[in-house]
Structure 1
Amino acid sequence: MSALPTGARPGLLGTLAHGVGSQHDLPISPFYAFAGAFTALFVSFLALGLLWSTSRFRGDRSGVPLPGALQRLADAPPFRAALRVLGAAAVLFLFVHLLFGPSDPERNAAPGAVYVLLWVGLVPASLLFGPVWRLVSPLRALHFLLSRTVTWARTAAPPQCDPGAAPHAPDPAVPDPVSSSPLPHSSHRPAGRNRAGDPETPPKDPRGSLTEHQGGPPTHASTGAPAHAPAPTAAPAPAAVAATPTATHPKRTPAFASPRPLPARIGLWPAAVGLLAFTWLELVAPEPAARTTLLCALAVHLLGQLALAARYGEAWFAHGDPFEAYSTLLARLAPLGRRADGRLVLRNPLHGLDATPEQPGLVATLCVLLGSTAYDGISDHPDWIDTLQTSPLGRTATATLGLLAITLLVGALYGLCAGATRLLSGATARPATAFAHSLLPIALGYLTAHYFSLLTTEGPRTLALLAGSADATAPESPLGPGGLAVLQVTAVITGHVLGVVAAHDRSVRLFPPVRAVAGQLPLLILMIIYTVGGLGLLLN
């Protein structure tokens, strides 16, 4: 989302179409912008090759521990519960504004809360405080409440037996006290005597334990036989076999009580799909700020995430919630982090970047961030606007194909680069995931360049609408045209330079010294291509 021209005041609907307006008159020479970018990339590449011969990043083993009091506060259950309650209250407030607020999107705070405070605001919040969305996630709060409710309901009510099961046949020699006891059947025999006449332990109410009956029907601890039938001591007569009742079972265990393990191959693929869907809603959907559109999108997101969390447990959100994955990836570049031993530390952000886990879907997630931002940059170009207006497929279909095409192009370029790196270095590892973390600073540079103006203008306006102001107006950007241009170009160049540094450190760690520099040449070419594209979109 590009910057506002001086004096421009588009409404929120215009800002969601392609950011906060287009910037065609950046007061900076394209020649100097490209020359500075190429100089920074080449100088950093040569300096790293000559002076950086061994890996210096230690990942999640680095950092200076923060005071213990701050650690205890951050880990305190009441503090974390308060953050979850705050997140749930914010979502409830959002739904109230959507349902009962003004129907005009220009005067309703809900669109700005979703597209500005949430999507854009997560960038600085995650860079300053770490993965904040994991702490305030309303999805995690709702899942916790639902799982506790289901667990309480299961333990409050006795297990229900199969109504079609045959009644117990009493033993003519010794009365069976289980059939006449008011307590539900438990995993221990009731008080009395067994067939051998030996005394047994007193009965135990199953409601005293939450785990005895989970995972299947209750059984005898000594024999493993169903608790509803007497423990076999001898082979029964044929007539007795016919009279033996069928073992009864409690109700099927709810998904909340026994979540399935999440397959490792899933990785971040669900988050990549979710991010692509959200960016489609923001940049392509015909009416992204309409009440019906937002209500349907939020309802589908909430219900879908909670249903999948009921199946796979709370671990699903780290892989499937697009906003949590988005915030967690950005937090890799935060100065605050956690060491492998759990200590809260102050660290070099590049150490945190080096600790980014290599998992399936990581490349796809970063390519969605880069591709969607690139599409946002061309969405207000006159040639693309003419294409949308004249396409026989219609605006929405053409824009969807454009978003997908740019995202796939970004991914294809990275895939070619990874393949070339493997050929030049002769490595057996998979460079596609090994160097994926180097794309994160580039994505952050694009996000900063495109969204800074949106956050500083539409952000205060949205907060004023949330506070009850009926006719809030967006303030002027804190940076003038010159300062904004310098910020945008600097953000793009800095992101690429940090990507080169991260890739070089990983290269000298994985490849032999004679091939470490040569193996980075494809990455350098990729950085140059991305830099040209990013600056070209800014300068139009």
Structure 2
Amino acid sequence: MLLPDTGLAHASEQGFVLLLPTDIYIGAGVAAVVLTLVLLAFLPGWVAARLFRPVGIIHRPRGIGLHHVTSCLSALLLWALVWRGFTGAHDPTVNPLPLFVWTLWWVGLVTLQGLLGDHWRYTNPWTGPAAVLARLTGSRAPLRYPAALGHGPGIVIFLGFASFLLADPAPADPHWLASVVGGYWYLTLMGVTLFGPRWLLRAEALSILMRCYGRMGLFGRARGRISAGLWGWQLSSLGRVPLGLALFMVLLLGCGSFDGVNETFWWLAVLGINPLEFPGRSAVVTQNLIGLALANAALIAVFATCLWLGERIAGTRRSAGDALRLFAPSILPIALGYHLAHYLTSFLVDGQYVLVALSDPLGRGDDLLNLGPFFVTTGFLNTPATVKAIWLTQAGAVVLGHVIAILLAHAQAVRAYGSNRRAVLAQAPVAAFMIAYTFFGLWLLASPRGI
């Protein structure tokens, strides 16, 4: 203390955010959300709806079936990656399959789907092969998808996917991941062959996820034109969605939130584990599965209760289920903001491994991208300027997601209740929920990690 000098330290995971005045950033983020709510309370009701009005860019070209061609190419690429998963290096930072699944697809392509628009129409690895099978056999799907199932199978499969991501001891193990990915692709293709495209719309969790986020994007289709608008403009025209799809949307936020919680010192303290002596993922499989289930159940209960209270304050008789069907799409901007914020730092590191893998896809020492002597670095986590930029980007994604969610929910409420006053009254409990969730999300970013 008396003789200060330079000290060297290593930043790991997201612990570097503790060096920043996070209380100031959290306060500013929450204040931005509160200010948005206050402005909506005094502005005319049509303002929020006008914000989500798209602008036409060009006439939409007539379809030529190109999406089936690109889908078949995606399937071929996926199977090449599965083959590399079985035959390539065991190191997940070298084998291209884990890098593609967990970095390029789960972080990069899912985020682009929500930010820009629906690329899944062209990158879906099932629609093209299913169309080829139908053409070769000359037959239609032999079975009708049971309407009573709704989105139930999709919800179950998505929870299974989240469990695999968060609780499996080795989700990035190339051989194990190749078995899971290859088996899931085959079973899904069988589902589409037996039940037709409705299987992708109701039961295939990844397609449901991508379709939800696809409606978040800046670009989309409206009145025969390729159009652009504020994030979520396509969600504003959805109206009431099926109850199963509404629950799926809320689960996107619940699973994403627990994805951050289960790594914090707080969660490890709940489990009675010293974060500096973490015993490994295999020691907390059951605990994480229970935590995932409780987190989603609590989120659904709290959100539905807030909607029910809002209905009673506004003096309407809409049930909690009907309100959830109406306002669940407004959850998606928050879920996407958390997704981007949570995975940003890992993407910045693992994205460098992706470049190396792309330069040498067969593991033969090639350098197709002419990278030269390339070394993966985490040096940007040791510099205050870059650390601040990363944290501001993460915090900005969380806050912007909440602001858009509030605008979207308010536009839906004005349309549903017919007046700005009743919309504000009905949205008061949900507004309190979103303010609290903003604080929670920014606290989560600032929390030290133990895994």
Same fold (TM over 0.5): yes
Number of the residue aligned with 1:23: 15
Number of the residue aligned with 1:344: 226
Which consecutive segments of 4 or more residues in structure 1 shift more than 6 A?
none
Between the aligned partners of 2:156 and 2:237, the Cα distance in structure 1 is: 23
- Taking structure 1 as reference, are residues 315 and 57 closer, same or farther at Cα in structure 2, changes over 3 Å only? farther
- Taking structure 1 as reference, are residues 360 and 532 closer, same or farther at Cα in structure 2, changes over 3 Å only? same
- Give the aligned residue type for 1:439: I
Q: Is the 8 A contact 2:83 2:178 kept in 1?
A: no
- The structure 1 residue matched to 2:36, chosen from 44, 47, 55, is 44
Is 1:503 aligned to 2:392, yes or no?
no
- Give the aligned residue type for 2:61: R
- Give the aligned residue type for 2:121: R
Number of the residue aligned with 2:80: 93
- The structure 1 residue matched to 2:196, chosen from 313, 318, 333, is 313
Number of the residue aligned with 1:416: 305
- The structure 2 residue matched to 1:32, chosen from 19, 24, 27, is 24
Number of the residue aligned with 1:54: 46
- The structure 2 residue matched to 1:492, chosen from 398, 410, 433, is 398
SS across alignment from 1:452 = helix
- Give the aligned residue type for 2:28: G
- The structure 1 residue matched to 2:315, chosen from 426, 431, 456, is 426
Structure showing greater radius of gyration is 1
Q: CA deviation at 1:355?
A: 2.5
Q: CA deviation at 1:24?
A: 4.9
How many corresponding residue pairs? 414
Q: CA deviation at 1:67?
A: 3.0
Between the aligned partners of 2:51 and 2:32, the Cα distance in structure 1 is: 25
Q: Is the 8 A contact 1:120 1:455 kept in 2?
A: yes
Q: CA deviation at 1:52?
A: 2.8
Between the aligned partners of 1:6 and 1:282, the Cα distance in structure 2 is: 31
Q: CA deviation at 1:83?
A: 1.5
Q: Is the 8 A contact 1:285 1:396 kept in 2?
A: yes
Q: Deviations over 1:305-348 (max 9, x none)?
A: 12322232112212222222222222222121111x44322233
Q: Is the 8 A contact 1:27 1:481 kept in 2?
A: no
Is 1:72 aligned to 2:58, yes or no?
no
Between the aligned partners of 1:257 and 1:491, the Cα distance in structure 2 is: 42
- Give the aligned residue type for 1:537: L
Between the aligned partners of 2:95 and 2:285, the Cα distance in structure 1 is: 24
Number of the residue aligned with 2:422: 515
Q: Deviations over 1:128-155 (max 9, x none)?
A: 542212322111122122222222xxxx
Q: Deviations over 1:471-490 (max 9, x none)?
A: 97534459711111111111
Is 1:63 aligned to 2:50, yes or no?
no
Number of the residue aligned with 2:368: none
What are the equivalent positions in structure 2 for 1:126-145 lying under 5 Å apart? 126-145=113-132
SS across alignment from 1:351 = coil
Between the aligned partners of 2:399 and 2:194, the Cα distance in structure 1 is: 43
- Taking structure 1 as reference, are residues 398 and 323 closer, same or farther at Cα in structure 2, changes over 3 Å only? same
- Give the aligned residue type for 2:25: A
Q: CA deviation at 1:465?
A: 1.3
Number of the residue aligned with 1:442: 334
Between the aligned partners of 2:56 and 2:414, the Cα distance in structure 1 is: 28
Number of the residue aligned with 2:100: 113
Number of the residue aligned with 2:443: 536
Between the aligned partners of 1:6 and 1:54, the Cα distance in structure 2 is: 53
Number of the residue aligned with 1:238: none
Which deviates the most, 440-449 or 142-151? 142-151
- Give the aligned residue type for 1:483: A
Between the aligned partners of 2:26 and 2:243, the Cα distance in structure 1 is: 34
Between the aligned partners of 1:261 and 1:400, the Cα distance in structure 2 is: 30
Between the aligned partners of 1:494 and 1:81, the Cα distance in structure 2 is: 35
Q: Is the 8 A contact 1:332 1:352 kept in 2?
A: yes
- Taking structure 1 as reference, are residues 67 and 394 closer, same or farther at Cα in structure 2, changes over 3 Å only? closer
Q: Is the 8 A contact 1:26 1:482 kept in 2?
A: no
Q: Deviations over 1:445-492 (max 9, x none)?
A: 111111122223212312321431759753445971111111111111
Is 1:460 aligned to 2:352, yes or no?
yes
- Give the aligned residue type for 1:32: I
Number of the residue aligned with 1:183: none
Q: CA deviation at 1:59?
A: 11
SS across alignment from 1:65 = strand
Q: Is the 8 A contact 2:67 2:121 kept in 1?
A: no
Between the aligned partners of 2:400 and 2:28, the Cα distance in structure 1 is: 11
Between the aligned partners of 1:529 and 1:274, the Cα distance in structure 2 is: 29
Q: Is the 8 A contact 1:417 1:523 kept in 2?
A: yes
- Taking structure 1 as reference, are residues 330 and 280 closer, same or farther at Cα in structure 2, changes over 3 Å only? same
Which deviates the most, 140-149 or 502-511? 140-149
Number of the residue aligned with 1:287: 170
Between the aligned partners of 1:58 and 1:39, the Cα distance in structure 2 is: 24
- Taking structure 1 as reference, are residues 382 and 335 closer, same or farther at Cα in structure 2, changes over 3 Å only? closer
- Taking structure 1 as reference, are residues 7 and 131 closer, same or farther at Cα in structure 2, changes over 3 Å only? farther
SS across alignment from 1:286 = coil
Q: Which runs of 5+ in 2 are unaligned?
A: 1-7, 366-373
Between the aligned partners of 1:370 and 1:299, the Cα distance in structure 2 is: 27
Q: Is the 8 A contact 1:115 1:282 kept in 2?
A: no
Between the aligned partners of 1:84 and 1:510, the Cα distance in structure 2 is: 39
Between the aligned partners of 1:102 and 1:376, the Cα distance in structure 2 is: 27
What are the equivalent positions in structure 2 for 1:173-192 lying under 5 Å apart? none
- Taking structure 1 as reference, are residues 257 and 433 closer, same or farther at Cα in structure 2, changes over 3 Å only? closer
- Give the aligned residue type for 2:248: T
- Give the aligned residue type for 2:69: A
Number of the residue aligned with 1:216: none
Between the aligned partners of 1:421 and 1:269, the Cα distance in structure 2 is: 27
- The structure 1 residue matched to 2:247, chosen from 358, 364, 377, is 364
Number of the residue aligned with 1:147: 134
Number of the residue aligned with 1:260: 144
Q: Deviations over 1:339-395 (max 9, x none)?
A: 1x443222333422212461222332223222222222222223433527599x952
- Taking structure 1 as reference, are residues 421 and 389 closer, same or farther at Cα in structure 2, changes over 3 Å only? same
Q: CA deviation at 1:410?
A: 1.5
Greater share of helix:
2
Q: Is the 8 A contact 1:422 1:519 kept in 2?
A: yes
Between the aligned partners of 1:318 and 1:455, the Cα distance in structure 2 is: 29
- Taking structure 1 as reference, are residues 507 and 416 closer, same or farther at Cα in structure 2, changes over 3 Å only? same
